């Protein structure tokens, strides 16, 4: 059955978009701000906080990038108006990083300013290795500009990149807020500075090392993983070092590993759910479905029954 489902994952491009959209409701809050607000309200009621991602990192022009920035400001206003426990996550490529870095920086600064007005926070997502240095530099410039205004912005680092051992050090310290993830990209070696670990289990030791550095330096850390073994190791490390639970949180994708999410909540840990929404739902949906072959098998069977 596992082999069948894995093979069916490869057939997802043949599945009608309407059927994919139906399945995607598990992973995507909807296509509008209102639908995202409704889903976040449900998550808050469960005890989770959230971070909102407006789907659509592949922008064709700067006008589209400006519209994305406008939508993030709208999201922040809506989160405040409804009193929701949620912040936003932004992919710089969605703001035109690959088109015009200066314009991207201005758009990101506008979003950060909007978040500050509401006492909220902006996470700069990390993308593939071709963007890593650009996004670290972008974050550095923002920190300099925001030093006299507000410091409500944080970065993401990926444990599968060997360069993270070097990149993390300037980002550590009291008051800093970092998200760590394993990283999902199949990298073009031309863009790798030092290299990347491809064995998913081998990444755990490096991930845990970086979490330890955050604990050592009083850096707040979002631990973004669905790996139960890694999560258990983080909890053990926190107990061993007597780290207060207010200094870290676990972060998970909407609709993924919900029993594990509930176990963490019941144990009293902070859990933040990554909530994507938007009109560009198809690409995100197919990626999530391919990562979950059981759902892929279900979709292909449903298509054949039709």
Catalytic status, residue 179? yes
pLDDT at 292 over 50: yes
Query: Residue 243: is its pLDDT beyond 90?
Result: yes
Would you call 86 helix, strand, or coil by DSSP? Answer: strand
CB count in 10 Å sphere of residue 96:
26
Determine which one of 39, 123, 163, 179 is catalytic.
Answer: 179
What's the confidence (pLDDT) of residue 302?
54
The pTM score is 0.87
pLDDT: which is higher, 302 or 288: 288
Taking only the tens place, the pLDDT of each residue in 66-92 is 999 999 999 999 999 999 999 999 999
- Tokens representing 167 are 């990149």
Return the DSSP state at 135. Answer: H
What pLDDT is stored for residue 190 in this prediction? 47
Q: Which tops the pLDDT comparison, 43 or 26?
A: 43
| Residue located via tokens 């030093």 | 147
List the one residue out of 58, 27, 2 whose CA is nearest residue 287: 27
The verdict on whether 261 is a catalytic residue reads no
CA 79 to chain centre: 18
Computed on alpha carbons and rounded to an integer, the radius of gyration of the chain in Å comes to 19
- Who wins on pLDDT, 198 or 60? 60
* The predicted structure's pLDDT at residue 293: 61
What mean pLDDT, rounded, does the chain reach? Answer: 87
Count of residues in the chain:
306
Token digits of residue 182: 């394993």
pLDDT tens column, 144-199? 887 755 679 999 999 999 999 999 999 999 999 999 999 864 444 444 445 676 66
The SS3 of residue 223 is strand
Would you say residue 61 has pLDDT above 80? yes
The domains located in the chain, with CATH, are: 1-28+281-306 (no CATH), 32-277 (3.20.20.220)
Query: pLDDT for 188-227, tens place per residue?
Result: 444 444 567 666 678 999 999 999 999 999 999 999 999 9
**Percent of the chain residues past pLDDT 70, beyond the cut:** 81
| The predicted structure's pLDDT at residue 239 | 97
> Residue 11: its pLDDT value, please?
64
Among the listed residues 53, 123, 125, 261, the single catalytic one is 125
């Amino acid at each position: 059955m596992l082999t069948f489902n894995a093979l069916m994952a490869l057939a997802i491009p043949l599945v009608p978009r309407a059927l994919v959209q139906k399945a995607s409701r598990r992973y995507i809050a909807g296509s509008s701000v209102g639908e995202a607000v409704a889903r976040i309200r449900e998550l808050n009621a469960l005890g989770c906080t959230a971070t909102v991602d407006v789907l659509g990192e592949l922008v064709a022009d700067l006008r589209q990038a400006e519209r994305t920035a406008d939508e993030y400001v709208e999201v922040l206003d809506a989160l405040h108006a409804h009193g929701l426990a949620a912040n936003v996550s932004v992919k710089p490529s969605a703001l035109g990083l690959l088109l015009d870095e200066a314009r991207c920086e201005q758009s990101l600064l506008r979003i950060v300013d909007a978040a500050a007005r509401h006492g909220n926070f902006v996470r700069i997502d990390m993308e593939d290795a071709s963007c890593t240095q650009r996004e670290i530099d972008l974050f550095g410039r923002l920190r300099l500009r925001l030093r006299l205004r507000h410091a409500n912005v944080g970065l993401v680092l990926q444990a599968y990149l060997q360069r993270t051992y070097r990149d993390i050090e300037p980002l550590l310290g009291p008051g800093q807020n970092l998200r760590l993830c394993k990283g999902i990209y199949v990298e073009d070696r031309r863009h790798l500075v030092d290299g990347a670990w491809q064995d998913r289990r081998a990444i755990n030791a490096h991930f845990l090392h970086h979490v330890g550095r955050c604990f050592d330096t009083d850096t707040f850390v979002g631990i973004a993983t669905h790996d139960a073994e890694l999560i258990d190791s983080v909890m053990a490390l926190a107990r061993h070092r007597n780290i207060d639970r207010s200094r870290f949180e676990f972060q998970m994708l909407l609709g993924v590993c919900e029993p594990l999410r509930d176990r963490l909540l019941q144990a009293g840990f902070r859990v933040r759910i990554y909530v994507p929404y938007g009109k560009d739902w198809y690409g995100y949906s197919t990626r999530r479905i391919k990562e979950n072959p059981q759902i892929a098998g279900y979709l292909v069977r449903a298509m054949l029954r039709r």
